[in-house]
Structure 1
Amino acid sequence: MTEIVQTNTDLETIQLAVRLSSFLKPGDVLTLEGDLGAGKTTFTKGIAQGLGIERTVSSPTFTIVKEYEGEIPLYHMDVYRLEDSEEDIGLEEYLHGDGVSIVEWPQFIEELLPEERLAIKISYVDENRRTLELTPRGKHYQRVVREMLRAGV
């Protein structure tokens, strides 16, 4: 059951993510797919805001993982550079840890990802508008998406 939501501004994308964050719990995993500039980091900023994180969120492109402390820790991963990598850098500790994990470019670590997760694909429509496809994998994430939509998307 994929749900499709359109946002018309960066602020609406952030507000959607803030709303979603209120239904997340430690150990949750979100995967973000989308072209460069689609809004993955903007979406992550909204999750961080909703988790009470005050630090500025930026793309972890060169560090692979950025950790943020809030009401629930946030682990923001950009695994694009891990394509074809055999190196074990301990991502499983984050994915099965005490925070919310957001993984950009998940196809490069598919074998490490938990079966149950919320897959989000962000598509660029035009300068301001984005389409978000929310695909919950597992009952918990079905409930998360259902509750978020009821909360006013």
Structure 2
Amino acid sequence: MSAEPLFLADDDATAELGRRLAKLLRPGDLVLLEGDLGAGKTALARSVIRTLVGDDTLDVPSPSFALVQPYEADGHPVLHADLYRIGDPHEVDELGLFDRADAIVLVEWPERSDEVVQQATVRASLTVPAGGEGRAVTVAFVDGRHL
């Protein structure tokens, strides 16, 4: 699962990447959103979710406190999860991320659960380049799909 890094100059570029990524996602995909605080994980997820549900104005809050925010897209669940606040990796089982095989699941801070990492079909890794301008991102699919 490797890919060439992309440079995202601003929020618009992040949103465009999210739209492109959403068009490649399929029911059953588990997307890891990796990166430090402020790297753009939630911004990327927000664009993906808005594209999947077909509403560019949809309120997509960070799931930091709710842990999971559910959405519906073409009859399939879309789940946006944030594992930052879980205390034990086994708590992931209680979140229902794997309850529906047709769900598209986006997970921020996935490294908090080996189970989540092992089941990933897509990995998006975001970093802030030296100097703090823009974002660098790699997106890799386990099955060979490409952006």
Identify the TM-score tier after normalising by the shorter chain: 0.7 to 0.9
Instruction: Name the CA distance, whole Å, in 2 between partners of 1:86 and 1:48.
Output: 26
Q: Residue 39 in 1 paired to residue 40 in 2?
A: yes
What is the CA-CA distance between 1:31 and the residue it aligns to?
0.2
Q: Which of 127, 134, 145 is residue 139 of structure 2 equivalent to? A: 134
Unaligned segments of structure 2, at least 5 residues: none
Q: Residue 102 in 1 paired to residue 106 in 2?
A: yes
**Map of 1:8 onto structure 2:** 9
Instruction: Name the CA distance, whole Å, in 2 between partners of 1:128 and 1:58.
Output: 24
Deviations 1:115-139 (A, max 9, x none): 45111111112555100022322x2
Structure 1's 116 and 77: CA in aligned 2 closer, same or farther, altered over 3 A?
A: closer
Instruction: Name the CA distance, whole Å, in 1 between partners of 2:31 and 2:110.
Output: 9
Q: Residue 84 in 1 paired to residue 88 in 2?
A: yes
RMSD: 2.0
- Does the Cα contact within 8 Å between 1:17 and 1:47 map onto a contact in 2? yes
- After TM superposition, the structure 1 = structure 2 runs for residues 20-35 of structure 1, keeping only pairs within 5 Å, are 20-35=21-36
Identity of aligned residues (%): 31
Deviations 1:31-70 (A, max 9, x none): 0111111101110111012213432111100011001123
**Map of 1:151 onto structure 2:** none
- Does the Cα contact within 8 Å between 1:53 and 1:69 map onto a contact in 2? no
Q: Which of 121, 124, 134 is residue 120 of structure 1 equivalent to? A: 124
Structure 1's 86 and 121: CA in aligned 2 closer, same or farther, altered over 3 A?
A: same
Q: Which of 111, 114, 132 is residue 115 of structure 2 equivalent to? A: 111
Q: Residue 68 in 1 paired to residue 71 in 2?
A: yes
Q: How many residues are paired up?
A: 141
Unaligned segments of structure 1, at least 5 residues: 149-153
- Does the Cα contact within 8 Å between 1:14 and 1:43 map onto a contact in 2? yes
